[in-house]
Amino acid sequence: MFARLRERQTPARLLNVAVDVGSGPVVILLHGIASSSASWRGIVPLLSPLYRVIAIDLLGFGGSRAGDAASFTLDEHVQALHKTVRSLRLRGQFTLVGHSLGGLIAARYAAVHRKELSHLVLVSPPIYPHRRYIDELGQRLRVGGYLWFYRFVRGNQLTIVSNVGRFSRWMPNGSLKIDDESWAAFSLSMQHCIETQTTMTDLAQVSVPIDVVYGARDQVIVPATIERLGSMHHVGLHQVPRADHLIREPLAREVARLIR
């Protein structure tokens, strides 16, 4: 009980602001799991001529350190992000863009701090509602398969860490990094933010326009969930042909187009 109380009272940490370039309306970028702000390298040059572009490393990733007591819940991520945004002393509302895990954090942030945002953009969001809310059997099985795979990954640290280096060189912009140092942030964020989530409920509380961008070849998107998002009156869906889950050029250009 007392350990839990101490954990709740642990002050939020300031996150690493990896990029802060340009001037004009503010766009804040949040990267995905097992990654860092380096994943936005293809988007920053498209936006910085017209906007002030800020890329922030999530708690426990990139240059953002987390204490030993961190459990990497969605609320912890949001609290650290809010403290960091306040430290920037921004004037007026901003556009918040989140990729993958960053999209789930962005959705909760937009639901909690509604007055701060003018626009929310979710890129390749892995949104998994409880299977009882998915009508089609095939889609329920797909969600179950993803969740099983995530649990398998979390339970096999040695195998995942030893093999991830072989694949990272094929990923754009240093978009994949899993090692012993970042394992807690990776595995606990997966457990507490992706496997267990309330993203659909969070998005229903957001009043600003929401754009969802995803690749036609995305490996972790559930089509039924994306279709449900599109039924919300303030949500626009944008599928990018020949794009997958990662932020390669086609996805980057579509995100920049929507922000502009």
226-255: pLDDT as tens digits? 988 999 989 999 999 999 999 999 999 999
Q: Regarding the domain with residue range 2-259, which homologous superfamily does it belong to in the CATH classification? A: Alpha/Beta hydrolase fold, catalytic domain (3.40.50.1820)
Q: How many CB atoms lie within 10 A of CB 59?
A: 27
- pTM value > 0.75: yes
Q: Which of 210, 56, 202 is nearest to 120 (CA)?
A: 210
CA 77, 60, 205: angle at the middle one, nearest 5? 15
Q: How far is Cα 240 from Cα 211, in angstroms, rounded to an integer?
A: 13
Q: How far is CA 103 from the centre of its chain?
A: 3
The 10s digit of each residue's pLDDT in 12-65 is: 899 999 999 999 999 999 999 999 999 999 999 999 999 999 999 999 999 999
| Tokens at 87, concatenated | 């430290």
Strands 17-21 and 52-56: antiparallel
The domains of the chain are located at 2-259
Contact by Cβ (8 Å): 215, 245:
yes
